[in-house]
């Protein structure tokens, strides 16, 4: 417990003129402090400081710095309660207020943390000013010598505006540069104190604010959203015990086992340095050269070549902590933990052809999808679950839980739900929040601790280091989006763009001049788990790290046939882009150790003979506990929201059946889907009943790939008009090729067939009704809920 006491109080009615005089010097003092009760503030301050310091004749906690017991249960620091606020004052002039300096700081206050309301700005009803608050009379013209004369250097308004503009950009992130984010909250299902003392899990229903950023990894800040890539899934919990950053991905493993190789990996996947191509793509020589010489990457390559790498939406992908962490409860007991985010919307993906086309017509596809869903009140939701296991369990596994290229199959350790996360507010300003947010794996709170994962160890260092460069110095924690809601008090001072104005002369600990404050929290603070370490200092890897292919095989064997076909096609495409055939040979030889069938199909698709299998680093690998896991297929999570937020195109034109259009719109709105009227152009069309229908999209500005399904109503002459527009036919063909739900009514059936759609009575999701039945819209919605109709897929596509 903290030693907390008040110093003794002595007063003297007699005036001490010499003491008052001495108190006016800042470079030396008399042998005795001035007595109190003279009515002189300087003397009183000196007397109160003396009394506070005298109350701590020695460091009472010094003996407690030694020994194991004190290391695991450190004592709280000593606090001396000063006789008056004068003790901690920087200046006695703090009582002189103004509109700028305000008053003195409240005891224990730090206004740089807390709600973002303290920095939100709204210019409604306000006149334009400079950054110095000077009203701007003319914001249209620079200051010139005459109407046609030269611009003048003394135009400070122009200079400020241009100079600020010239410096508006900051260095982008080396990886995860392209991202989108949202605010929300985490709600704990129940009290989880047996598992951990971490603040978000201490009470049933406890709410913790969060800020979540999703991102691609390889591309630059202006690259496309739909690249084949890993997606970042970073969550900042603003807890009442500080910020906790769970910085993960939408894939549970990674390419490498040790942070030493991270710069090499990133250099390999980034655009090749001699010509800076390709952007946001792994389909090039340097990436595949590197990973084929790093066979531990095989498992991650399976995930990267799967549909997980081209999600339909950020809202429809899982998130993982990747590494094994520790939970620590208030008894100091620890267990291993792996984090899983499961989307309520289910896991759904794009097709590769679809992703490529989307990148051309809307490179902001995922950013727009997240923004629009939140604006519409369709708040994305995920469940946070954990796999919890002991060190004894970990020892029995055939793989090493410190190896970031491995998962713990759910068949060995099931997932325990802890709570849910809801994203319910978009940022007010992209730069101030999404771009300036600083996630860091080193940001943990009491109850969360690290393991000896060698990749995690490097991330703990790297994420802090990169913010120093990107955000301009060590005070990035004071940027509002990064500031915690928990109190912040320490002795860190100064640095570029420092915002906190600290009161008092003390900036060190231990101290007596500040009453010992801020004092160490002791066992109430973060105490690292005392994991025994009895090893030699070496550079190397454990033997279990040498097994590289069991879990790659597990992933491939766990996929549905259509998912396996997509993995084959992805490898085929990526390797076909290489300019060095020998690298293709090496990759396929590596794949033979994971799946002979996969390797054979890839080789056949590249017109090459099957090479010999790559020699294994571990000639006799251990037998895998699990060889197939249903949880690894995206089909395991269809979602719980039906067609909510799905986008549906409704074709319109002059003569369209207005009643069918209205019925379709009404049904879609009721189901939570988004229906858009699309025609040869935007604007009004006359329906068959004489009503006006206003199209808000056209075949030109909203192509097929931006929609999850299409409805083509009946009409007088509309089908013929659509048939004369090649873009309309292309729209329907792409909907069919991309396995989406198509509903055509009346004359629209002939248009669909004329567009080249291969009608088959068995075609799932192809609803063609020359004589529309009553339940046509309901059947469409039922089919739309399946997302895609993979029964129609062929390789190569027939249409």
Q: Which residues are catalytic?
A: 176, 249
How far apart are the C-alpha atoms of 244 and 445, rounded to whole Å? 6
Inter-residue contact 629 to 411 (CB < 8 Å):
yes
Distance of CA 24 to the CA centre of its chain: 55
Give yes or no for a contact between 522 and 77, defined as CB atoms under 8 angstroms apart. Answer: yes
Residues 6+ apart with CB under 8 A from 527: 72, 73, 74, 332, 446
Calpha distance 21→29 (Å, rounded): 10
Distance, CA of 341 to CA of 234 (rounded, Å): 11
Kind and range of the H or E run holding 183: strand 179-188
**Which tokens go with 315?**
């809202």
**Residue 16 in tokens:** 């001490």
CA dist., res. 336 & res. 326, Å (int)? 5
User: Cβ(272)–Cβ(309) under 8 Å?
Assistant: no
Q: How many Å apart are CA 594 and CA 779, to the nearest integer?
A: 42
> What phi and psi values does residue 264 have, to the nearest 5 degrees?
-65, -45
**CA–CA separation, 697 and 709 (whole Å):** 15
Work out whether strand 325-328 and strand 448-449 pair parallel, antiparallel, or are unpaired: antiparallel
Tell how far CA 488 is from the center of its chain: 24
Reported as half-sphere exposure (CB side, CA atoms, 13 A), residue 254 has a value of 25
Could you say which DSSP state residue 35 is in?
Answer: P
Place of tokens 């790093």: 294
35: closest CA among 49, 47, 45?
Answer: 47
Q: What is the DSSP letter of 3?
A: -
Contact by Cβ (8 Å): 586, 615 = no
| C-alpha span between 722 and 751 (Å, rounded) | 7
**Do the beta carbons of residue 210 and residue 233 sit within 8 Å?**
no
Range list of β-strands (E), 329-436 = 334-343, 381-389, 416-425
| Tokens matching residue 465 | 């280091």
Among 734, 793, 794, residue whose Cα is nearest residue 357: 734
Phi, then psi, of 628 in degrees rounded to 5: -155, 135
Reported as half-sphere exposure (CB side, CA atoms, 13 A), residue 432 has a value of 10
Per the structure block, which two tokens stand in for 750?
A: 């002939």
- Give ∠ CA 470-229-182 in degrees, rounded to 5: 55
Q: SS3 helix, strand, coil % of the chain, rounded to 5?
A: 30, 15, 50
CA distance 585 to 589: 6
The answer to whether residues 256 and 297 touch, using CB atoms and an 8 Å cutoff, is yes
Residue 468, judged by CB atoms within 10 A of its CB (0-12, 13-18, 19+), counts as middle
DSSP per-residue string spanning 200-268: GGSSTT-EEEEEEEEEESSS-TTS-TTSSS-EEEEEEEEEBTEEEEEEEESSS--S-SSGGGHHHHHHH
Q: CA 437 from chain center: how many Å?
A: 10
In angstroms, the CA 301 to CA 405 distance is: 10
């Amino acid at each position: 417990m903290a030693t907390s006491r008040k110093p003794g109080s002595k007063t003297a009615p007699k005036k001490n003129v010499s003491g008052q005089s001495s108190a006016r010097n800042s470079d030396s003092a008399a042998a005795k402090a001035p007595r109190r009760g003279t009515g002189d503030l300087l003397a009183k301050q000196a007397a109160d400081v003396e009394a506070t310091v005298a109350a701590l004749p020695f460091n009472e906690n010094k003996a407690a710095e030694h020994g194991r017991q004190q290391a695991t249960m450190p004592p709280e620091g000593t606090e001396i309660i000063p006789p008056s606020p004068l003790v901690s004052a920087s200046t006695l002039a703090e009582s002189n207020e103004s509109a700028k300096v305000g008053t003195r700081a409240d005891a224990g206050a730090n206004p740089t943390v807390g709600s973002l309301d303290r920095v939100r700005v709204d210019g409604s009803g306000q006149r334009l000013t400079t950054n110095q608050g000077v009203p701007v009379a003319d914001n249209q013209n620079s200051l010139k010598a005459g109407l046609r004369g030269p611009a003048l250097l003394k135009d400070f308004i122009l200079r400020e505006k241009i100079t600020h503009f010239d410096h508006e950009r900051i260095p982008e992130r080396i990886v995860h540069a392209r991202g989108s984010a949202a605010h929300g909250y985490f709600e704990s299902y129940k009290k989880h104190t047996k598992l951990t003392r971490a603040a978000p899990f201490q009470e049933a229903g406890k709410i913790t604010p969060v800020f979540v950023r999703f991102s691609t990894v390889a591309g630059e800040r202006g690259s496309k959203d739909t690249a084949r890539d890993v997606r970042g899934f970073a969550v900042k919990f603003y807890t009442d015990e500080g910020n906790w950053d769970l910085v993960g991905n939408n894939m549970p493993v990674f390419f490498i086992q040790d942070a030493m190789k991270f710069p090499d990996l990133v250099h390999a996947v980034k655009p090749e340095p001699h010509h800076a191509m390709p952007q946001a793509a792994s389909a090039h020589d340097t990436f595949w050269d590197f990973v084929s010489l790093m066979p531990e990457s095989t498992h991650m390559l399976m995930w990267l070549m799967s549909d997980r790498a081209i999600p339909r939406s950020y809202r429809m992908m899982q998130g993982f902590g990747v590494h094994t962490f520790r939970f620590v409860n208030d008894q100091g007991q620890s267990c291993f933990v792996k984090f899983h985010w499961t989307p309520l919307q289910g896991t759904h993906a794009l097709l590769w052809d679809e992703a490529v086309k989307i990148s051309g017509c809307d490179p902001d596809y995922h950013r727009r999808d997240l923004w629009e869903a939140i604006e519409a009140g369709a708040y994305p939701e995920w469940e946070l679950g954990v796999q919890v296991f002991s060190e004894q369990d970990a020892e029995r596994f055939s793989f090493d839980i410190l190896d970031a290229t491995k998962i713990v199959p759910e068949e060995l350790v099931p997932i325990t739900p802890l709570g849910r996360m809801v994203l319910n507010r978009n940022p007010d300003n992209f730069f101030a929040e999404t771009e300036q947010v600083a996630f860091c794996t080193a940001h943990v709170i009491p109850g969360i601790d690290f393991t000896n994962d060698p990749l995690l160890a490097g991330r703990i260092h790297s994420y802090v280091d990169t913010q120093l460069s990107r955000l301009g110095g060590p005070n990035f924690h004071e940027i509002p989006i990064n500031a915690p809601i928990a109190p912040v008090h320490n002795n860190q001072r100064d640095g570029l763009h420092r915002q906190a104005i600290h009161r008092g002369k003390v900036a060190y600990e231990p101290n007596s001049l500040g009453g010992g404050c801020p004092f160490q929290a002791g066992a109430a603070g973060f105490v690292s788990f005392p994991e025994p370490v009895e090893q030699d200092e070496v550079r190397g890897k454990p033997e279990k790290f040498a097994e590289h292919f069991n879990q790659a095989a597990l992933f491939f064997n766990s996929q549905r046939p259509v998912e396996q076909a997509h993995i084959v096609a992805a490898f085929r495409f990526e390797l076909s882009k290489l300019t060095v055939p020998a690298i293709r040979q090496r990759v396929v030889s590596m794949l033979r150790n994971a799946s002979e069938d996969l390797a054979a199909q890839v080789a056949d698709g590249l017109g090459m003979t099957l090479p010999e299998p790559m020699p294994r680093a571990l000639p006799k690998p251990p037998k895998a506990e699990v060889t197939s896991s249903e949880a690894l297929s995206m089909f395991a999570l269809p979602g719980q929201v039906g067609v909510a937020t799905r986008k549906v195109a409704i074709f319109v034109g002059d003569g369209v059946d207005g009643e069918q259009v209205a019925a379709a719109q009404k049904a879609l709105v009721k189901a939570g889907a988004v229906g858009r009227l699309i025609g040869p152009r935007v604007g009004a069309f006359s329906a068959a009943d004489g009503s006006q229908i206003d199209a808000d999209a056209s075949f030109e500005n909203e192509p097929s790939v931006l929609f999850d399904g299409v409805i083509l109503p009946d009409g007088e002459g509309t089908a013929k008009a659509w048939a004369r527009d090649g873009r309309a036919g292309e729209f329907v063909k792409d909907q069919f090729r991309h396995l989406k739900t198509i509903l055509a009514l009346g004359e629209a059936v002939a248009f669909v067939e004329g567009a080249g759609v291969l009608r088959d009575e068995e075609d799932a999701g192809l609803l063609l009704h020359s004589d529309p039945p009553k339940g046509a819209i309901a059947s469409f919605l039922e089919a739309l809920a399946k997302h895609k109709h993979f029964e129609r897929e062929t390789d190569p596509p027939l249409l």
